Amino acid sequence: MGELDVRDPEVVVVGGGNAGYCAAHAAAGRGRRVVLLEKAPRAHAGGNSYYTLGSTRMVHDGLGDLLEVLEPDERHARTEVPPYSVAEFLDDLERVTGGRGDKELAEVVAEGSRDAVRWLHSLGMRFELMYERQANLRPDGTLVFWGGSHVRNVGGGPGLVSGHERIAERLGVEVRYDCAVTGLLTEGGSVVGVRMGEQELRAESVVIASGGFQANAEWRQRYLGDGWQHAKLRGTPYNTGDLIGAALEIGADRGGDWSTCHSVPWDASFPDNESNRALTHRLSRYGYPFGIVVNRRGERFFDEGADFRNYTYAKYGKVILEQPGSVAFQVFDAKSRAMVAAYEYEMPGIIPVVAGSVEELAAAMDVDVDGFVHTVKEFNSSIDSSRPLDPTVKDGRSAAVEPVKSNWASALEEPPFYAYPVTCGISFTFGGLRGDGDGRVLDPSGEPVPGLFACGETLGGLFSANYPTGAGLIAGMVIGRRAGSLA
């Protein structure tokens, strides 16, 4: 560690995930004395960032533009990465949130995304293309990327956190673990430090990067609605909204949509399916575009092929939570099962329901047999087979049933048949503190609260109802960097 006068830091960052570390790096890079306070013990640190795949949505001009930040890979020679513009990024955010997101924040994130990744790369963070998750193989051997989010850091979530820790140590940031912040210190309307039980730590600026309130079952029930207290917690159990509450108490304003969250199809059968640091994202079940999803009545209840998984997965946890027993089943036949990601569907310890016929599968799933058989027969007979199945594009191969399946419809007819029970896994909440594009926390009149910044999941406003893959990490990088550059 670099030498620090820990009694008198200039910047305190609360929360040791991706956004908090970006704020700390930026502040330390300006010569500020920085202390980062992490609520979790060292062995459980990293916040929600540890549980991610590391997907980072960023603007770029194609593979040639990305090569300067990517690790060497022999597959680059046979890879196509379509350019991703600021306009496309903003259009994706606008579309998936129904226009309810904060447009200023969206512009700041999209326009700053490329520079933020290059900045982190210059500090030592390593990046690579997401071949296993975001590329499809053409018959000619070309690997074609899709879905807007093409890049991740090497090592996924654990690699992201360890990379940040190495950078912070080199820059002289002091990191304190097992350090729960319980309140904010104020003088004359300005934030001048933090309280940790009976202890106080004073600073010129405080950056809150301690996540949303997804780990607080009482708040989930209060703000998201009854039933949400039963959702499975995907990530860290330490994001309980304490610092959001502390900021509201001293006059900060709420920001964003407090009634919705990032929630996904999540494994319902594995015994240890909450906050599992060993399996992290492998408990997700994102292959639904290639099969069908049914409830306990054996009925489909949403359009599995509405869009690429990147633009739908974060809203379907809620839909599953609303089904009988808050459980559903993803169903595939032999050919569609071959299209799903092995890292999810061949997870250690997972035991799918497997049968030689649709009727036997329904009985083994313990769903309504007649209802399920009718659903499959109706689905199979309604598919527009004049269009070829092509997972690299929205192929328009639809099933004219209710609800419709808009793309990638494939008849369930080739045994064996597979069913994977899923439930709702909550990732993070969309509501938080109101802030501007520099991470300055605002009061109800729109004026900055002096000395107080927020970034990452603590900062509300960017997302509502839905979310595009990789937007959370890049938002933490961009706004965390900007907050640290001012703090």
Tokens of 344: 């999810």
Report the alpha-carbon distance of residue 28 to residue 117 in Å, rounded.
Answer: 18
pLDDT at 3 over 60: no
pLDDT score at 179: 97
Report the alpha-carbon distance of residue 468 to residue 134 in Å, rounded.
Answer: 13
Q: How many CA atoms lie within 13 A of 254 on its CB side?
A: 11
List CB contacts of 195: < 8 A, sequence separation 6 or more: 181, 182, 183, 184, 185
pLDDT at 74 over 80: yes
Of the pLDDT bands very low, low, confident and very high (cuts 50, 70, 90), residue 1 is very low
Tokens of 460: 């509300």
Tokens of 302: 């949403």
pLDDT score at 7: 58
Q: In this predicted model, what pLDDT tens digit does every residue of 280-300 receive, in sequence order?
A: 989 999 999 999 999 999 999
pLDDT score at 112: 98
Mean pLDDT (whole number) for 95-118: 97
Phi/psi at 476 (5° precision): -65, -40
For residue 400, what are the CA distances in angstroms to 156, 372, 379, 413?
Answer: 39, 17, 8, 17
List CB contacts of 262: < 8 A, sequence separation 6 or more: 314, 317, 426, 427, 428, 429, 430, 463, 467, 472
Of 125, 171, 202, nearest to 31 by C-alpha is 171
pLDDT score at 21: 99
List CB contacts of 468: < 8 A, sequence separation 6 or more: 57, 92, 93, 96, 148, 149, 310, 311, 314
Q: In this predicted model, what pLDDT tens digit does every residue of 37-67 receive, in sequence order?
A: 999 999 999 999 999 999 999 999 999 999 9
Q: In this predicted model, what pLDDT tens digit does every residue of 192-248 receive, in sequence order?
A: 999 999 999 999 999 999 999 999 999 999 999 999 999 999 999 999 999 999 999
Report the alpha-carbon distance of residue 348 to residue 279 in Å, rounded.
Answer: 9
- How do strand 190-196 and strand 232-233 relate by DSSP bridges? unpaired
Q: In this predicted model, what pLDDT tens digit does every residue of 8-38 receive, in sequence order?
A: 799 999 999 999 999 999 999 999 999 999 9
**Cβ–Cβ under 8 Å, residues 417 and 333:** yes
Of 308, 339, 301, 338, nearest to 422 by C-alpha is 301
**Residue listed under structure tokens 């937007």:** 471
pLDDT at 482 over 60: yes
**Cβ–Cβ under 8 Å, residues 156 and 75:** no
pLDDT score at 6: 45
Q: In this predicted model, what pLDDT tens digit does every residue of 140-164 receive, in sequence order?
A: 999 999 999 999 999 999 999 999 9
* Percent with pLDDT over 90 in the chain: 97
**Cβ–Cβ under 8 Å, residues 212 and 428:** yes
Q: Angle at the Cα of 56 (from 54 to 60), degrees rounded to 5?
A: 150
Report the alpha-carbon distance of residue 446 to residue 457 in Å, rounded.
Answer: 20
Amino acid identity at 245: G
* Bond preceding residue 416 cis, omega within 30 of 0: yes
Going across the sheet that includes 79-80, the strands are 79-80, 143-145, 135-137
pTM of the model: 0.95
Report the alpha-carbon distance of residue 36 to residue 195 in Å, rounded.
Answer: 14
pLDDT score at 281: 87
Domains annotated for the chain, with CATH where assigned, are: 11-211+430-486 (3.50.50.60), 264-425 (3.90.700.10)
Report the alpha-carbon distance of residue 335 to residue 333 in Å, rounded.
Answer: 6
pLDDT at 4 over 50: no
Q: In this predicted model, what pLDDT tens digit does every residue of 365-403 receive, in sequence order?
A: 999 999 999 999 999 999 999 999 999 899 999 999 999
E strands in 160-260: 174-176, 183-187, 190-196, 199-202, 205-208, 232-233, 254-255
List CB contacts of 346: < 8 A, sequence separation 6 or more: none
Report the alpha-carbon distance of residue 418 to residue 340 in Å, rounded.
Answer: 12
The DSSP annotation for 468-483 comes to -TTHHHHHHHHHHHHH
Q: Output the CA torsion 398→399→403→406 (10° steps).
A: -10
**Average model confidence (pLDDT) across the chain:** 96
Strand partners, 202: 193
Mean pLDDT (whole number) for 95-100: 96
E strands in 283-362: 292-294, 328-332, 353-355
pLDDT at 438 over 90: yes
Mean pLDDT (whole number) for 71-85: 98
Of 14, 7, 73, nearest to 451 by C-alpha is 14
